[in-house]
Amino acid sequence: MMFYTLVRKDLLLEFRAKEIIIPMFAFGLAIILIFALSFNASQAINHAFSPGLLWIIILFISSLGLNRMFVLEKEFDAFSLTLAAPVDRGIIFLSKAISGTILLLIAEILIIPAFIIFMNLTIPSDWHIMVLIFLIGDLGIMSIGAIISGLSMRAKLSEMLLPILFFPLVSPHIIACVKATNYWFKGLSFIYWQSWILLMISFVLVFFLLGFMIFEYITEE
């Protein structure tokens, strides 16, 4: 029940203020337009580098969203009040990771159609596989991001510390996401890229379990 309340609180704050999704969408769309209008590449070339470009865009907008999400909590000292509540801090971690994943998915729903259109891509018909890849990918990104955000929350230069710690840790997960997306773009059978999906799932499980266990210690006063 408390988990649902915390997730609902984060989502309501964003839907009222719109300080996370709109900047994420604007930043992502700007990168798409820059690449689409700067290069007159063939469709084959676009298909070759699009998976990597798309996940780089997602990585940057997720960093922007994580930074803004925790800055809002820090500005009004709301995070200290949340930590003082009679709730396991592992639950707080889970709520941050899940609410961040939901916000990132909403941003992707807006960005990915624009990416497909401007990059002149043809996607396979089994789009539900794409949904699965991005869901697992986003869960991994936000689980790692929630840990790093909690760790850097009380640092004086938390806005600078977040990307410094976040990008190296999330890079192996992003590589697996790019590989899985690339094989799906090519229309290859699941057997060719199932190892990358399993690696993504492993990252999600490890960091969700790690965050649940250590969030109490990394957020101590």
Q: Which residues contact 120 (CB under 8 A, 6 or more apart)?
A: 43, 46
CA–CA gap between residue 184 and residue 86 (Å, rounded): 45
What is the full DSSP assignment across 72-135? HHHHTTHHHHHHHSSS-HHHHHHHHHHHHHHHHHHHHHHHHHHHHHHTT----S-HHHHHHHHH
Q: At what angle do helices 43-75 and 89-118 cross, to 10 degrees?
A: 150
pLDDT averaged over every residue in the chain = 85
What would the mean pLDDT of 109-116 be, rounded to a whole number? 92
In the chain, % of residues over pLDDT 90 = 38
71-75, 149-153, 175-179, range with the lowest pLDDT:
71-75
Answer yes or no: is pLDDT of 39 > 80: no
pLDDT in tens, 7-17: 888 888 778 77
Answer yes or no: is pLDDT of 125 > 80: no
What would the mean pLDDT of 174-198 be, rounded to a whole number? 87
pLDDT of 78: 66
pTM over 0.85: yes
pLDDT in tens, 138-148: 999 999 998 98
What would the mean pLDDT of 20-46 be, rounded to a whole number? 83
Residue 30: both structure tokens together = 């700007």
Answer yes or no: is pLDDT of 131 > 80: yes
pLDDT of 59: 93
CB-based burial label for 93 (10 Å; 0-12, 13-18, 19+)? buried
Answer yes or no: is pLDDT of 133 > 70: yes
pLDDT of 155: 65
What would the mean pLDDT of 21-32 be, rounded to a whole number? 90
Answer yes or no: is pLDDT of 162 > 90: no
Answer yes or no: is pLDDT of 216 > 90: no
pLDDT in tens, 66-112: 877 766 666 666 666 676 777 788 888 898 899 999 999 999 999 99
pLDDT of 221: 60
